[in-house]
Structure 1
Amino acid sequence: MSDVDATAPSGLVAEAARLDAADELRAKRAAFALDDGVAYLDGNSLGALPRAVAPRLADVVAREWGELRIRSWEESGWWAAPERVGDRIGRLVGAAPGQVVVGDSTSVNVFKAVVAAVRLAGGGPRDEILVDAATFPTDGYVAASAARLTGCRIRAVPAGDIGAAAGPRTAAAVVNHVDYRTGRLHDLPGTTAAVHAAGAPVVWDLCHSAGALPVGLDEHGVDLAVGCTYKYLNGGPGSPAYLYIRRGLQPRFDSPLPGWNSHADPFGMSPAFTPADGPARGRTGTPEILSLLALDAALDVWDDVGLAAVRAKSLALTDFFLRCVAALVPEGRVESVTPADHPARGSQVSLRCPSDAEAVTAALVRRGVVGDFRRPDVLRFGFAPLYNTFADAERAARTLAEVL
């Protein structure tokens, strides 16, 4: 047995080095623009820049736009990009090709999905939309607006109770896969099955899970899902979101925001709307080509990565960070609100910090540890398995201990 105390600072540093040396994803870090002197643990808000993005975007601007100009819609594949990039994201969320379209913001796609879900439910006595009570605020705002437009009412229910709450009045349910504040991973398979048993569809928000863990949309029969691409998928600030429409539902998907891009014959310019086949009926207007192709380049880092390895490293990183916090931070100064059990944990650790969490976050940033906080007292540390290291986790815990 080693004489080194694994809970002592030197023991944790040595353990981090051993874990990093054994990490099968360690080579991926070099694909990102990162500072060696900074532990960037805010990938759950904005992912780091993949190095391939800048040259790709320079080519899009200088050659595809600057030289080919309008010819690029066909010659450079711009027109088909929303579905092509959608299929790349589909692999990361467990969706077979032909079910994901990229475009618009998460908020806009939540609106499309919720209204379409209510329309799929068929009206009648189904006049209630169940919403995750701790949902990200925008999802709640959009669901409330969708309820007003469809004659429904909102009922807020804890995410874990939505399956049990679903019944004959349920028109749709809207659930966050991972709680943005606590990092709790909710039961996607169980909730989806329970709401289906009550006769209603479910809309899942994958913003804090896609790119951090396996999702299994097809496997678990998910109806509709939305998500952003600028967190764990590293698409860049404001990069376009995506919409998943299960293949069997596509012929009945009735978007509340039809546009010329979602028309079966977009260049026919017909005054009457006929929806396109497939996920293209989830489009609205002209694709955001510059940000869409930046996202496309960012997704290259995932080409040879398996989600099982990503999940294993995510859990190992968060386990190690929690252990470092317990060993180094003075007792009683912080309390984890992230579940300790793996099946209920996403890829972030949230610590309740009564001692002015905002000031503590600022002090951490000044010392090279970048996380964030959520009012009033939650420190958030997001672990992106493709580029975060165990040394990042140890440094963050040690710096937090020094600050406190």
Structure 2
Amino acid sequence: MTTTLQDCRALDAQDPLAPLRAHFTLPPGVIYLDGNSLGVLPKATAARVADVVAREWGADLIQSWNTASWFDLPQRLGDQLAPLIGARPGEVMCTDTTSINLFKVLSAALNIARADSPARRRVVSERSNFPTDLYIAEGLCQERGLDLLLVEPGEIAASLTPDVAVLMLTHVNYRTGAMHDMAALTAAAQARGILCIWDLCHSAGAVPVDLHGANADFAVGCGYKYLNGGPGAPAFVWVHPRHADRPDAKFLQPLSGWWGHAAPFAFTPGYQPAPGITRYLCGTQPIISLSALQCGLDVFTAAEALGGMAALRTKSLALTDLFIALVEERCAGHGLGLATPRDHAQRGSQVCLTRAEYAYAIVQALIARRVVGDFRKGDGAYPDILRFGFTPLYLGFEDVWNAVEHLRQVLDSGEWQRPEFNQRNAVT
């Protein structure tokens, strides 16, 4: 049965999450399908940042570490984020970048895994994992004389051999939108004495995550995608309590900065780790950026009254189902394929279309029409990818219908062939 524009408008009228759109600043006429790369600006952010700059910093100066509670902001935001990822209060810190946090947890995981089993000399990850994760792992393995083994998704189970110390995976693949079964893979690895690290950059705020339910060991993620914390927003780090408080110094994360000290203002020369997740802090925190991230997290707090992550997931799947169906119905014959799994259990909150040629130019032509997605270069498994993220906090069903209509027009008219759409920008 064909879905019409009127059908989509009816779905929007019945959408219980529709009021959340009012929390965001959306440029007029823009259909924004790139929230999986950079989230939209919450309306509260500009005023909040201005207040931090003008009043808390400008007027109150250094007193704001106490009077404005700057000092405990990383933990307060971590507590606010925790329910989105199946963590508990006091277990998450919002701090640093994903890459830095991954360095911390991978270092600690290797120390723990190899303490009793020095023969475990291998880190396993997916070949199509996000490159920064692989770069961090490559550097650590080179430094320690270990091996990094990259495998295809179907090879993960067979790769969990006795010489593996750590399995490091991204929950939702950045290129395809394919989602791993976190609980099953964690259990399979741990049954063989292997620790698991999960990157939640494309999961947090987009799909329900249950770190405790999966019995994961470590997790990291960023704040600027579905969490809408702004460009370069602070990331987050989670460590299961069974690892966070290990007393032996050899199990510590290696960036032992003063913010992770048990008494940072005692200014003693020797490092004494703070208890729990606090030891995963390092240097002085970016208060302005953390304050902006809080505005993004506040929207999720508001979403709890409307059904929370379960309702967001239901809408996300409905949006992506609709997009796939409309593309296949209205854009047939133009060489588009589908890289994203149809199975709901294996799909994140994005849809990735493939095309053997000119995918980049097609995306640029769409952006010129104010339909914003992005391009990712293919690999051995897939051709080039047109990537579209669906953020249920602010996207509606009419947006999906209109986006596909623009895609149909771009393909039918051949306007993607214009020279300006074939000039590569620095950021794709």
TM-score tier after normalising by the smaller chain length: over 0.9
State the match for 1:356 in structure 2.
358
Q: What is the Cα deviation at residue 273 of structure 1?
A: 1.1
Matched, 1:339 2:341: yes
Matched, 1:402 2:402: no
State the match for 1:385 in structure 2.
392
Q: Is the 8 A contact 1:159 1:175 kept in 2?
A: no
Q: Which runs of 5+ in 1 are unaligned?
A: 1-5
Q: What is the Cα deviation at residue 308 of structure 1?
A: 0.4
2:67 & 2:36 partners in 1: Cα distance?
35
2:50 & 2:261 partners in 1: Cα distance?
31
The SS at the match of 1:184 is coil
Matched, 1:158 2:152: yes
Task: Read off the aligned partner of 1:211 and give its amino acid letter.
Answer: G
Matches of residues 253-332 of structure 1 in structure 2 within 5 Å?
253-305=251-303, 306-332=308-334
Q: What is the Cα deviation at residue 355 of structure 1?
A: 3.6
1:163 & 1:286 partners in 2: Cα distance?
40
The SS at the match of 1:175 is strand
Structure 2 residue corresponding to 1:174, chosen from 152, 168, 171 = 168
State the match for 1:120 in structure 2.
112
1:89 & 1:205 partners in 2: Cα distance?
15
2:53 & 2:276 partners in 1: Cα distance?
30
Matches of residues 224-243 of structure 1 in structure 2 within 5 Å?
224-243=218-237
Percent identity over the alignment?
47
The SS at the match of 2:42 is coil
Q: Is the 8 A contact 1:160 1:186 kept in 2?
A: no
Deviations 1:205-241 (A, max 9, x none): 0000110011101111111000001000000000000
Q: What is the Cα deviation at residue 332 of structure 1?
A: 4.4
The SS at the match of 2:214 is coil
2:356 & 2:26 partners in 1: Cα distance?
31
Q: What is the Cα deviation at residue 343 of structure 1?
A: 0.3
Structure 1 residue corresponding to 2:12, chosen from 6, 13, 20 = 20
Task: Read off the aligned partner of 1:97 and give its amino acid letter.
Answer: P
Matched, 1:144 2:142: no
2:24 & 2:302 partners in 1: Cα distance?
15
Matched, 1:190 2:197: no
Q: Which moved more, 1:79-88 or 1:296-305?
A: 296-305
Q: What is the Cα deviation at residue 160 of structure 1?
A: 4.5
State the match for 1:3 in structure 2.
none
Q: Report runs of 4+ in structure 1 exceeding 6 Å deviation.
A: none
Q: Is the 8 A contact 1:167 1:199 kept in 2?
A: no
State the match for 2:65 in structure 1.
73
Deviations 1:306-329 (A, max 9, x none): 110011000000000001101110
Structure 1 residue corresponding to 2:215, chosen from 206, 214, 221 = 221
State the match for 2:128 in structure 1.
134
Task: Read off the aligned partner of 1:94 and give its amino acid letter.
Answer: G
Q: Which runs of 5+ in 2 are unaligned?
A: 379-383, 412-428
Matches of residues 55-94 of structure 1 in structure 2 within 5 Å?
55-94=47-86
1:99 & 1:146 partners in 2: Cα distance?
25
Task: Read off the aligned partner of 1:201 and give its amino acid letter.
Answer: L
1:236 & 1:174 partners in 2: Cα distance?
26
The SS at the match of 2:213 is coil
- TM-score (norm: length of structure 1): 0.96
Task: Read off the aligned partner of 1:125 and give its amino acid letter.
Answer: A
Q: Is the 8 A contact 1:229 1:240 kept in 2?
A: yes
